[in-house]
Amino acid sequence: MRMKTNNKTSIDGEGLILFNNVEEALYGEKVLKAAGYEAKLVAPPPELRKGCDLAVEINLVEKTGIERLLKEKMADCLEIVPVKGKGSLLEVVRVTDFGEAVMVKAGNMKLTFDKKSGTIVNISGGGCPDIPSLHADLLDKKLSEAVRPKEKGYTLCSLMLDRAFVESLDLWKNHRKE
């Protein structure tokens, strides 16, 4: 459960939540603030505008936790986009075969699993505070039994780790079939 904070800092978070209509935007902001997130109603720049002309500014790095919260509270939104640059997350992954283990790299996150058992033997990279927690939760768990990182993480690092996890699970399942 996210704790409520009293921080009044106006955010400069590089992220926007876009909504279909004004009512959804107002509800989304209310839900986020009640959960302690910094959030502010803003007019999205024309190049990002979709749906209505009201958006909620957030700290983009908190995308994973915010998406999960909005879903739990049935607060519909169109998408969460960065204010600058391209709007899509890095999709590409890289795979390194160490022989007994395979490392999958997604963005700044790397997950390594044992080929035979499918056990997660290491997680490296990242920098957000949910990563050491996910590292402790996932280490020595089997890929097939572990909870996906995006179900427990809060940040973009956990989303990258989730990408590595999903790819690792696919690789391991295919390896077992061979």
Partner 1 sequence: MLLICGTIPKDDFPLAVGPVSFDGASLLLNGAAIPCTQGTAALASAACEVAEYLGAERPHALLVGDRGTGKGSRLLYEHLIKNLSSLSPGVVVLHYMLPIMGLMKKVCQSVEKCRRRPVMIADAAAMYAAKAAGLAPQFDIFTPDHSEMAFLADPEASHPAYVSRHLFESDGAMIPELALASYKQRGAAIMLVIKGATDYIVEYGKVIGQISEPDIPALEAIGGTGDTISGMLGAFIQAGFPFADAALLTARVNRLAGQYARATPATKIREIIAAIPAVLKDHVNKENLSSLSERSMLNDRN
Instruction: Find the binding residues for partner 1 in span 30-49 (CB under 8 A).
Output: 36
Helix then strand count (H, E) for the chain reads 5, 8
When asked if residue 56 is in the footprint of partner 1 (CB under 8 A), the reply is: no
The answer to whether 158 and 134 have CB atoms below 8 angstroms apart is yes
Q: How far is the CB of 129 from partner 1 (least distance, A)?
A: 4
CA distance 94 to 98: 13
CA distance 166 to 178: 19
Which range touches partner 1 (CB under 8 A), out of 18-26, 71-79, 131-139, 165-173?
Answer: 131-139
Scan for tokens 């919260």, then name that residue.
69
When asked if residue 160 is in the footprint of partner 1 (CB under 8 A), the reply is: yes
Q: Which is nearer to partner 1, 130 or 167 (CB)?
A: 130
Q: Which amino acid is at 12?
A: D
What the block records as the tokens of 91 is 């999709």
When asked if residue 85 is in the footprint of partner 1 (CB under 8 A), the reply is: yes
Which spans of this chain sit near partner 1 (rule: CB under 8 A)?
A: 2-3, 5, 7, 9-14, 36, 59-62, 65, 82-86, 88-92, 96, 98, 100-101, 103, 105, 107-108, 110, 112, 114, 121-133, 135-136, 153-160
